Amino acid sequence: MTLSFAPDATSAIPLHIVAQDAFGAWVSERSQQDRDWMSLHGFKGALGQALVLPGSDHVEAVIGYGTPTSRARGRFALARGAARLPKGTYKIADGLPDETAEQETLGWLLSQYAFDTYAKNTGIAARLVAPASVNVDRVEAIARGEALTRTLINTPASDMGPTDLENEARALAKTHGASIEVIVGDELLEKNFPMIHTVGRAADRAPRLIDMRWGNSGRKLTLVGKGVCFDTGGLNLKPGASMGLMKKDMGGAAAVLGLAHMIMATNAQVQLRVLIPAVENAVAGNAFRPQDILTSRKGLTVEINNTDAEGRLVLADALAYADEEKPDQIISMATLTGAARVAVGPDLAPYFSDDPLFVTALEAAAVAQADPVWRMPFHTPYEPMIEPGIADLDNAPKGGFAGCITAALFLRRFVTESKYAHFDIYGWQPSAAPARQKGGVGQATRALLAALPEILAR
C-alpha cells in the first residue's frame, strides 16, 4: 500500500471541494455542461458526494463537503468523498480550508490503508497531491505510524505473539537508530519483574519486557503499552464470544509503537523510552490462580480475584520500572477494561490525568487532529475499592462499579515520582468509516503527538 502523497504533476486532475451551503454560488459559475452533468447525477455538495466532470479539453472532479452539522457527525469529510472517486491522481484546486487541510489530507492517506497480509485487499484507488499548506513529511509520518498500529492489531496471535511483537519493536528501533533491550522468561524473575513473569509463564511463548530508547536531548517521555498478545482470561476463562477479539489485547503496545514512530520520524526533541510487557495469558498447570497473592516490583502485594484482569498486573511492573527513572511524563496505553467501552463506546479514547496542563493541551489537540478523547476521573474516594485487606491491592474489585476508574487507580499506585496519564483505549473499529476500515485502529496517538510539545514544556 502507498501511504504517501502523489508527486505533483501537470496531469493531476483538478479537484474542487464544495460546501453544501456554497453550492448554489459555485455551480452558477460552471459551464452549462457541468450544471447539466451535476443535475443528472444529483450532485448538490452533500457530505461525501463525489463526481468526475468530463470536459471537452480536460477532466475535473468535485467532492461535496456537506454542512458544519453533517461534518460534526463524523470525521474525515474529504476521505468520505475520496472513496467514491475513480483511480487517478487529484490535486485540490479550491475549497479546502487551510485550518483543516492537514487533518483532511491525513484522512485521505489513511483511506489508502488495507490489511493485506493474508488476502488481497486494497484501500482507495485515488491518490492526492499534497496542498501547499500541508507539511508532507509530518502527515506521511503520522499515516505510517497509524498503519503500523493497525497492522500489529490486525495480525492474529498465531503470528503476533510476544516474540513477534519484540521483532516488530526491533525493526522499528533499527529504522530510527533507537536502542533496544529485551528481558525474557525467567530473567524477568532475576531482574524483579514478578508480575509480568507470573501472567505470562503458562504460555509456550515466553513473556518479556521490551525496552526501547531514542533521543539524547529534550524532556524525558516514557510510553508504556500493554502487550497481551492473546488473552484467554486464564483460569477465569473467557466465554468464546468474549475471546473472539483478544488478538487486539496488545492494542496498547501497538498504539505506543505507532506513536513512537510518529515521534521519531518527525524528529521530536524528546528523550523517548518505550516499555512493553509482552505476554500471553494462557491456561496451563502453572497458570496463576484466583486468590493467589503476588508481590510486585514495587513491593506492593496484589490479591488475584480474577485472572482475566491481567493487563493491570503486567503494566504495574512496567510502570514501577518507568517511574524509577523519574521521567518528566509517563503515559500508559492499554485495552484494559470493558467498563470503558460501556462508558464511552468504541470511538472515544478515555484517559485519566490530574494535570491541568496535560488536560488542556490534549483536549485542544484532540479537536484539531480529529482524534477524540474523553477525560475520566482518578476518583480518590474509590481507593478503598481496590484495597482487599488481605493484600495491598485487589486486581478485580467485586461489585462491578466504576471498573475503568478502579483499574486506573490501581495503575496510579505504581507511579509516585512522575507525572502520569493513562489511556484505556479500545483499539478496534467495529464497522468501516471514512479513513478507518473495520479492524485495528489507533486512538489518541495523533492527539498526543500534537500535544506533547506543550505537555513537556514545563
Q: What angle (nearest 5°) sits at the alpha carbon of residue 362, between those of residues 356 and 368?
A: 140
Buried b (16+ CB within 10 A) or exposed e, 199-225: bbbbbebbbbbbbbbbbeeebbbbbbb
Query: Is-catalytic flag, 446?
Result: no
> Which one of the listed residues 297, 312, 413, 419 is annotated catalytic?
312
Q: Are strands 59-66 and 208-214 parallel, antiparallel or unpaired?
A: unpaired
All cell numbers assigned to 425: 483505549
> Which one of the listed residues 44, 84, 170, 238 is annotated catalytic?
238
Query: Is-catalytic flag, 35?
Result: no
The answer to whether 365 and 348 have CB atoms below 8 angstroms apart is no
What phi and psi values does residue 91 have, to the nearest 5 degrees?
Answer: -130, 125
Q: How many angstroms from the chain centroid is the CA of residue 98? A: 25
Euclidean distance between CA atoms 8 and 455, whole angstroms: 36
The answer to whether 223 and 215 have CB atoms below 8 angstroms apart is no
Q: Which residues are catalytic?
A: 238, 312
